[in-house]
Amino acid sequence: MIIQNGVNDLYSQGAKRTRPSAIRELCVLVARPEVRSLAGGWPDPCLFPRERIFQAMEDLMNDRASALLQYGSTEGLPDLRREFARRAVQEGGRNCDPDRILITSGSSQGLDLAVRAFIDPGDIVFCGLPTYFGATGSISALGGKLIGVPVDDHGMNTEILEWKLDGLKRCDICMKAVYVIPTFQNPTGRTMSVERRRHLVSLAEKYNLIIFEDDPYAELRMERDPVPSLWSLDGTGRVIHIRSLSKTFSPGMRLAWLVAEKSVTRKLTVIKQGIDVCSNMPAQYLALEFMRRKWLDEHIVSLVDHYRRKRDFLLDLLDHHFPEGVKWNRPEGGFFIWVELPVVIDAQELLSEASENNVVFVAGRSFFIDESGDHTLRLSYSQASEPEIEEAVTVLGRLIRKRLS
């Protein structure tokens, strides 16, 4: 028997602050074949471009196996950085040279590097109420103090942010950053208006803040024109624009990139050197090959069509099965729909009952750093098949009606 006497006391303060993710905990349930899950924000596995990955990988291994299987530079493959820089210019109309790009192991690493670079224990970071708990978890683990700012139909409410900034500045408190998912936000699916984006960028300048712009869903736009990224609106080098191939290619590849001011990218690169030396080399070559053959763009077009169909399918079911008094939004892209239940229904209790009936979703409270949101929940249409979505919504509709009566 191993006696762990005192080992718990040896954990660092950072390790003691870590909390398990609500979704990872749900994974155990979701893995059961009888469970219908609207919980995880995972891509639909039936859309992974298996054949093309196989074909490109075979060609790459024949042509350049030694490079694929070797260490690479921490910044990432130069040609891949050039490709992302070209795309950044296409999207934002702003000059972007490849020195601003850092390839990362998932956008989770991009955010982690950004937080390590800028946040000391006790520094204040503003975030949405609600927001993605993966990010707030890593900010808190590194000692950042989170302050929530309500998110409404137009994204984070920057008027309220300004009011909070003003109040804290008067008390001489160190405010460092804003963490925001401006497009098809996780969990609400909402998109920040361009007016609020401009306002946020101007506040960052006025109060000397960094913005962590987490943007993994931007390419999954199903309708209307794109809204400019915060990065493209910023003229003072305060935005770290974090992207990902997880939702548009494959999360298992763990491949993502960020764009920042050159000196910031350099600082994050030096931090990354000490963490994982370089990101996955076969995945980098594969992604580059997909872009060169124009396969990635083609793939994204088919993803958007597919997810639009699933979103509409879920929305129609909600209209049909959910009773009056339950509200939800119609996202213009991404993976999520946000549901507000009548106040007499607690989403966590509904989840317990739903999981007894083999249906799961994420109760909203996990996305609120102030532990509010008891009557909210997130539904994802990305991973489940249409028959599974239908079964899940039928059960949820029945349980909600039962609770209301």
Ligand X SMILES: Cc1ncc(COP(=O)(O)O)c(C=O)c1O
Select from 43, 251, 333, 373 the one that contacts ligand X (CB under 6 A). Answer: 251
123 binds ligand X (CB under 6 A): no
Torsion of CA 312, 375, 186, 237, to 10 degrees: 130
Is residue 153 within 8 Å of 185, Cβ to Cβ?
no
132 binds ligand X (CB under 6 A): yes
Q: Which stretch binds ligand X (CB under 6 A): 88-96, 102-110, 294-302, 345-353?
A: 102-110
Q: Which residue is nearest to ligand X (CB)?
A: 106
Among 131, 138, 40, 18, which Cα is nearest to 368's? 131
368 binds ligand X (CB under 6 A): no
The structure tokens listed for 139 are 């900010």
> Which CB sits closer to ligand X, 322 or 338?
338
| Cα 365 to Cα 369: distance, rounded to the nearest angstrom | 8
Size of the site for ligand X (CB under 6 A): 14
Output b/e per residue, 194-220; b: 16+ Cβ within 10 A.
Answer: eebbebbbebbeebebbbbbbbbbbbb
Select from 232, 244, 376, 383 the one that contacts ligand X (CB under 6 A). Answer: 244
216 binds ligand X (CB under 6 A): yes
Least distance from ligand X to the Cβ atom of residue 296, Å: 15
Least distance from ligand X to the Cβ atom of residue 327, Å: 22
Select from 140, 246, 250, 279 the one that contacts ligand X (CB under 6 A). Answer: 246
Residue 393 makes CB contacts below 8 A (sequence gap 6+) with 38, 314, 317, 318, 321, 322
> Which CB sits closer to ligand X, 98 or 110?
110
> Which CB sits closer to ligand X, 246 or 400?
246
| Cα 178 to Cα 162: distance, rounded to the nearest angstrom | 12
Binding-residue pattern over the window 152 to 191 for ligand X, x denoting contact by CB under 6 A: -----------------------------x----x-----
Least distance from ligand X to the Cβ atom of residue 394, Å: 26
3-state helix, strand, coil in the chain (%, to 5): 50, 15, 35
> Which CB sits closer to ligand X, 30 or 173?
30
237 binds ligand X (CB under 6 A): no
256 binds ligand X (CB under 6 A): yes
User: For 264-330, where are the E strands, in sequence order?
Assistant: 327-328
Classify burial at 224, counting beta carbons within 10 Å of its beta carbon; exposed 0-12, middle 13-18, buried 19 or more.
exposed
Is residue 269 within 8 Å of 74, Cβ to Cβ?
yes
Select from 74, 108, 250, 366 the one that contacts ligand X (CB under 6 A). Answer: 108
Is residue 241 within 8 Å of 231, Cβ to Cβ?
yes
Among 321, 291, 398, which Cα is nearest to 354's? 398
The structure tokens listed for 378 are 């997130």
Binding-residue pattern over the window 43 to 72 for ligand X, x denoting contact by CB under 6 A: ------------------------------
214 binds ligand X (CB under 6 A): yes
> Which CB sits closer to ligand X, 134 or 397?
134
> Which CB sits closer to ligand X, 106 or 326?
106
> Which CB sits closer to ligand X, 133 or 328?
133
- Any idea which residue has 């996955």 for tokens? 280
Q: Which stretch binds ligand X (CB under 6 A): 100-108, 197-205, 343-351, 386-394?
A: 100-108
The structure tokens listed for 384 are 């489940």
Is residue 287 within 8 Å of 255, Cβ to Cβ?
yes
| Cα 340 to Cα 350: distance, rounded to the nearest angstrom | 13
| Cα 97 to Cα 29: distance, rounded to the nearest angstrom | 45
138 binds ligand X (CB under 6 A): no
Applying CB under 6 A, which residues contact ligand X?
Answer: 41, 106-108, 132, 134, 181, 186, 214, 216, 244, 246, 251, 256
